């Protein structure tokens, strides 16, 4: 990590030094920072493109399994950052989760009464990331206990398949991202809160799940399936919401991008 961080900052210093030299010999005029920032953005774009092609090679991530410890419910917080995040069921009966994590992982697990609290975040610093390294997380969760999920991500692509999980609360906070979210078939009284910036958000609500959906957006394009009738500005609701015991409350705060709810 130290070597990669040195390369990152060393590259920035070289760009700045070259601009200073060119100004000194009279090749460029004016404020060098007028040249520096565009060049830095170009270099960063090249860095990301190099990473895309380099990631076509197989990357072995860190495999992690966290035991359930007899817990009856769980709070799980994911600080993902960037890359791809895949979330679905598939953990063993004695695990709260297992998965494969690129770029290393910092995590802690603590049992509080009958509830287990798990926090995961990448151990890699952003400036220490090297093209070709995996930033991806692939996580399997325990399908047998109630889950409270908190997900923080940045420039990411997330596929969150909660179809057969017992999620009671879901809180997503993301930036420039793409998120494909499928809610549980047994939602009961689930609460979903999504805050997103420049992004693409798709929410799939299974048949048989009633929903009340509140959308607050800047200039995002919003498309809501007709089975959720518009009640007033930004509020959509299924006809059987008031009487259904299998229902979900969804609040979405979005900046720009697109929102599709089906």
Q: CA 245 to CA 30: how far, in whole Å?
A: 67
Give the Å distances, CA to CA, from 212 to 40, 52, 238: 45, 39, 7
Q: CA 224 to CA 230: how far, in whole Å?
A: 9
207-225 pLDDT, tens digit each? 999 999 999 987 889 999 9
- Strand residue runs (E) in the chain: 62-67, 73-89, 95-101, 105-112, 115-122, 137-141, 146-161, 166-174, 177-182, 189-204, 210-217, 221-224, 229-232, 235-237, 247-261
Where does residue 150 rank: exposed (0-12), middle (13-18), buried (19+ CB within 10 A)? middle
Domain boundaries, the chain: 2-54, 63-261
Closest CA to 66 of 172, 164, 141: 141
16-65 pLDDT, tens digit each? 778 777 877 888 777 766 666 666 666 666 655 555 555 444 445 789 99
91-118 pLDDT, tens digit each? 999 999 999 998 778 999 999 999 999 9
31: its two tokens: 């404020």
130-187 pLDDT, tens digit each? 444 557 899 999 999 999 999 999 878 999 999 999 999 999 999 888 999 999 999 8
Q: CA 48 to CA 43: how far, in whole Å?
A: 9
**Cα pseudo-dihedral 252, 73, 97, 135, rounded to 10:** 30
How does DSSP classify residue 126? Answer: G
CB 142 within 8 A of CB 93: yes
pLDDT over 60 (residue 90): yes
pLDDT over 50 (residue 119): yes
pTM above 0.85, yes or no: no
Q: What b/e readout covers 197-224, taking b as 16+ CB neighbours within 10 angstroms?
A: bebbbbbbbbeebbbbbbbebeebebeb
CB 207 within 8 A of CB 182: no
Q: Which residue has the tokens 């030299």?
A: 21
- Phi, psi angle pair for 206, to nearest 5°: -60, 155
């Amino acid at each position: 990590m130290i070597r990669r961080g040195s390369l990152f900052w060393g590259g920035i210093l070289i760009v700045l030094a070259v601009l200073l030299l060119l100004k000194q010999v009279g090749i460029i005029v004016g404020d060098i920072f007028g040249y520096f920032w565009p060049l830095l953005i170009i270099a960063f774009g090249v860095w990301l493109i190099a990473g895309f092609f380099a990631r076509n090679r197989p990357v072995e991530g860190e495999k992690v399994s966290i035991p359930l410890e007899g817990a009856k419910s769980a709070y799980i917080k994911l600080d993902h950052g960037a890359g791809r995040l895949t979330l679905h069921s598939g953990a063993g009966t004695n695990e709260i989760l297992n998965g494969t994590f690129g770029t290393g992982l910092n995590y802690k697990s603590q049992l509080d009464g009958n509830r287990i609290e798990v926090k995961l975040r990448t151990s890699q610093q952003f400036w220490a990331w090297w093209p070709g390294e995996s930033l991806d997380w692939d996580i399997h969760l325990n399908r047998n206990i109630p889950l409270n999920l908190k997900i923080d991500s940045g420039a990411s692509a997330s596929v969150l398949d909660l179809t057969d999980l017992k999620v009671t609360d879901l809180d997503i906070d993301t930036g420039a991202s793409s998120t494909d979210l499928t809610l549980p078939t047994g939602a009961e009284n689930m609460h979903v809160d999504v805050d997103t910036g420049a992004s693409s958000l798709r929410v799939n609500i299974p048949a048989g799940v009633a929903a009340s959906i509140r959308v607050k957006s800047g200039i995002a394009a919003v498309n809501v399936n007709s089975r959720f009738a518009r009640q007033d500005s930004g509020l959509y609701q299924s006809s059987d919401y008031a009487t259904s015991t299998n229902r979900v409350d969804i609040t979405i705060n979005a900046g720009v991008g697109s929102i599709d709810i089906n």
